[in-house]
């Protein structure tokens, strides 16, 4: 069943180009029958920079049918960390590459207009639930990384899958990735590209000091755990947005998390992926 959005939220990275795109999107809504029947909500920073008479609202308080993120993938990842309700997200890519931000700025207004007129379907993407001992961390949309705090110093750790030891090794760290995040840090660390429709978690050691250490793909329903051995300083990094220092012998548990919701944009996934990866070869990320 398609969703007909009437309550629309906006989050914007805040650079001049982003604000210009944001203004055009809001004007598109206001042109639709004079804006009657629609509610527009902005995060406080965007409301201030836009200068319109629209009340700012924290992302965690937003209760909308559609949330439009204007920026890059980092803007979407930050937004997902703050969202408290299952909300379909549409990304407008004013960043560099944009795997999650699927709509280009020149198509943003026409895309939003079509979504308002015709409604949209929702695409669900897997996320990972992360716990450190008894402490809940934000969901991971792309990946959770355990990495050494001191370059040149390796970590010593053991990984379990459903209670069975998978690997015991020394390495710079390890990436636990969703299929969506398989084209991010995990790929750079030598992991496989995985179709986002696959229900899996990808485990990729970072610079392991062991010839037999290889990336591993396990069922998303598995419980993965990591225990630090030794005394080296380590950090947990989630989606490049959230950081937590890891203490000696702390244990991390990784399980299937709540899905993230995205507006379904039909396309040819692998053709788009190839184009993105080729364009990234010559750009600064």
Contact criterion met (CB below 8 Å) for 276 and 95: no
Computed from CA positions of residues 140, 146, 148, 154, in that sequence, does the dihedral angle turn out positive or negative?
Answer: negative
Could you say which of 73, 134, 195, 233 is catalytic?
73
Burial 172-200 (b: 16+ CB within 10 A, else e): bbbbbbbbbbbbbbbbebebeebebeeeb
Are 215 and 227 a contacting pair, CB within 8 Å?
Answer: no
Q: Are 98 and 72 in contact (CB under 8 A)?
A: yes
Confirm whether 172 is a catalytic residue: no
**59 in helix, strand or coil?**
helix
How many helices (H) does the chain have, and how many strands (E)?
A: 6, 18
Nearest C-alpha neighbor of 124 from the set 197, 223, 219: 197
Catalytic residue IDs: 73
């Amino acid at each position: 069943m398609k969703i007909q959005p009437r309550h629309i939220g906006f989050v914007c990275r805040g650079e001049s180009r982003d604000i210009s795109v944001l203004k055009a999107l809001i004007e598109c809504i206001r042109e639709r029958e004079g804006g009657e029947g629609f509610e527009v909500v902005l995060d406080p920073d965007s409301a201030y920079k836009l200068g319109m008479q629209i009340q700012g609202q924290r992302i965690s308080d937003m209760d909308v049918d559609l949330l439009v993120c204007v920026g890059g993938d980092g803007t979407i990842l930050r937004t997902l960390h703050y969202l408290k309700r299952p909300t379909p997200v549409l990304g407008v890519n004013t960043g560099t590459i944009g795997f999650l931000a699927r709509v280009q700025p020149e198509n943003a207004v026409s895309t939003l207009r079509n979504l308002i007129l015709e409604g949209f379907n929702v695409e669900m993407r897997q996320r990972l639930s992360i716990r450190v001992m008894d402490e809940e961390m934000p969901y991971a949309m792309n990946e959770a990384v355990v990495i050494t705090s001191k370059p040149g110093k390796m970590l010593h750790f053991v990984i379990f899958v459903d209670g069975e030891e998978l690997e015991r090794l020394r390495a710079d760290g390890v990436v636990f990735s969703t299929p969506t995040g398989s084209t991010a840090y995990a790929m750079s660390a030598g992991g496989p590209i995985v179709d986002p429709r696959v229900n899996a978690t990808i485990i990729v050691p970072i610079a392991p000091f062991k010839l037999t250490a290889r990336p591993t793909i396990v069922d998303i329903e598995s419980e993965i755990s990591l225990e630090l051995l030794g005394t080296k300083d380590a950090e947990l990094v989630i989606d490049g947005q959230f950081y937590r220092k890891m203490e000696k012998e702390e244990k991390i548990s990784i399980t299937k998390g709540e899905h993230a919701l995205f507006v379904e944009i039909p396309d040819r996934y692998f053709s788009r992926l190839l184009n993105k990866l080729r364009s990234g070869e010559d750009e600064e990320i």
